[in-house]
Homo-oligomer: A and B are copies of this chain.
Amino acid sequence: MTDTRRGRPTMRDVAAAAGVALKTVSRVVNGEPGVNPATAERVREAIRRLGYRRNDSARLLRAGRTASIGLVIGDVSDRFYSGLSRAVEAVARSHGHLLFTGISEEDPALERDIVTAFCARRVDGLVIVPAGTDHGHLRPELEAGVAVAFADRPPGSGLEADTVLSDNAGGAAQGVAHLIRHGHRRIAFLGDSPAIFTARERLRGYRDALAAAGLPYDEALVSLGRPDPHRLRAALAAMAALPYPPTALFTANGLITTHVLRALAARPGPDRPALVGFDDLELADLLVPGVTVVAQDPAGLGRTAAELLFRRLAGDRGPAQRVLLPTRLIVRGSGEIPPPARAA
C-alpha cells in the first residue's frame, strides 16, 4: 500500500528505508564482509518489508556477462532433441547459467534469426544443432568471445568450433554388417535427404559395410529423400517389384523407421524383410518382432557439447575439438530375421 511507486523496489529504496547508503545494501545482499551486524539486520529488515529482490539482469550488465547460454534445436518435440535439451539444461544449471531455448524448425533462416537474437542478448555461449550450412555470420560473434559448440552436425563454411557428433557412419556400418552377418546380401537403404550431414554419413557407413563384405552397391536398393510416408511406401513398392527384391532394410533415422514399420504392417506378407533402424524408438521392444536399432546417445551429445562450451567459458583457448560419440546396436528381433531360403 505504501509503495505504489511503479515497479519493484530497488537497492536505492532499501537504502532509503534502512537509512544507509546504497553500497551498504549491496554489501548485505551479496554477503560481502565489513558490515556491522546491527546495520546489516536493519538492512535485512528493510529488504523484507519492501519485498526487495536483487535484479540480476542489472547486476550482470555491470558484470559484462549474462550467465546464460542459448540452445538452438530443430524441434523439442522430437525424442532426439528433447534428450539433448535436457542434458544441456542440466549442464547449464550446474554452472549457474540459465538456458534460452530456440527452435529452428530445421529452417536455416530461422536458425540464424534465433542465433542473432541470442547474441543480441549477449548470451555467453551457444549450443547449436545446425540446420543451416553457412555459419559465417557467427565468425564475428566468435571473435567477440561468444563460445559456440555444435552438436549432431558440424558447422558449415569452415568455421572452427567445438563439435560433437555421433558416429553416424560407424553406427550405420555396424547395423548393416549385422544384417549381412545374418545372411542378407540384398539390403536396402532408406535414408533422409543427402543434403543432411547425418544422412550422408549414414549412407557412407552403409557403403562401407557392403564393401567390407564384398557386396555390390546397387542404386536400386537406395532411396534418399524426405521422411514422407508416401515417398517411402512408393520406394518400398518399387523395391519389392525388383527381380531380386531386398531381403533386409536399413532405415536411416527414427522417423523413417516408424513410417517403414507402418508400411510393412499395412502390407503383411509371408517374406517380411529384416529391419535395422538408426535411432532408438520408444516401445521398440514391444513390437513384434522387436525392432533392432543402432541407438545414438542424444543426452551424451548435449552433455558433451555443453561441457565443451563451459570449458571455453572457463578460459580454454585450445584448438577446436571434434568429439565422436559411439553408437550402440540393440538387438531385438527384426534385424535377426533370416533371408528367405531361396534368396540366401
Among all A-B residue pairs, the 6 with the closest Cβ atoms: A82-B82, A56-B120, A101-B101, A77-B86, A76-B82, A77-B82
Once the chains bind, are B64 and A7 in contact (CB under 8 Å)? Answer: yes
**Neighbouring B residues of A75 by C-beta, 8 Å:** 86
Interface positions, chain A 54-86, Cβ under 8 Å from B, are 54-58, 60-61, 64, 66, 68, 75-79, 81-83, 85-86
**Neighbouring B residues of A93 by C-beta, 8 Å:** 102-103
Interface positions, chain A 87-122, Cβ under 8 Å from B, are 89-90, 93, 98-103, 117-122
Interchain CA distance A49-B58 in the complex, whole Å: 29
Q: Is A343 an interface position by the 8 A CB rule?
A: no
22 contacts between A and B (CB under 8 A): A7-B145, A53-B120, A53-B140, A55-B122, A56-B120, A56-B122, A57-B121, A76-B85, A76-B89, A77-B79, A79-B282, A82-B85, A89-B101, A89-B102, A93-B102, A98-B102, A99-B100, A99-B101, A101-B101, A261-B283, A265-B286, A288-B288
Interchain CA distance A85-B71 in the complex, whole Å: 14
Known: A57-B57, A262-B286. A100 touches B98 (CB 8 A): yes
How many copies, total? Answer: 2
User: Which residue of the partner chain, among B53, B57, B98, B118, contacts A61 with CB atoms under 8 Å?
Assistant: B57
User: Which residue of the partner chain, among B60, B76, B283, contacts A57 with CB atoms under 8 Å?
Assistant: B60
Contact with B along A259-274 (1 / 0, CB 8 A): 0011001000000000
Once the chains bind, are B89 and A55 in contact (CB under 8 Å)? Answer: no
Interface positions, chain A 282-322, Cβ under 8 Å from B, are 282-288, 299
Interface positions, chain A 315-336, Cβ under 8 Å from B, are none
**Neighbouring B residues of A53 by C-beta, 8 Å:** 119-120, 140
Q: Is A258 an interface position by the 8 A CB rule?
A: yes
Q: Is A241 an interface position by the 8 A CB rule?
A: no
Q: Is A224 an interface position by the 8 A CB rule?
A: no
Once the chains bind, are B85 and A101 in contact (CB under 8 Å)? Answer: yes
User: Which residue of the partner chain, among B56, B103, B117, B287, contacts A287 with CB atoms under 8 Å?
Assistant: B287
Once the chains bind, are B285 and A262 in contact (CB under 8 Å)? Answer: yes
Nearest CB in chain B to that of A265: its residue: B286
Q: Taking the nearest CB of chain B, how far is it from the CB of A259, in angstroms?
A: 11
**Neighbouring B residues of A89 by C-beta, 8 Å:** 76, 101-103
User: Which residue of the partner chain, among B57, B117, B287, contacts A98 with CB atoms under 8 Å?
Assistant: B117
Known: A89-B103, A262-B285, A288-B288. A61 touches B58 (CB 8 A): yes
Q: Is A8 an interface position by the 8 A CB rule?
A: yes
Once the chains bind, are B55 and A120 in contact (CB under 8 Å)? Answer: yes
Q: Is A51 an interface position by the 8 A CB rule?
A: yes
Q: Taking the nearest CB of chain B, how far is it from the CB of A188, in angstroms?
A: 20
Contact with B along A30-68 (1 / 0, CB 8 A): 000000000000000000000101111110110010101
Interchain CA distance A120-B60 in the complex, whole Å: 11
Q: Is A144 an interface position by the 8 A CB rule?
A: yes
Once the chains bind, are A86 and B90 in contact (CB under 8 Å)? Answer: no
Interchain CA distance A105-B143 in the complex, whole Å: 36
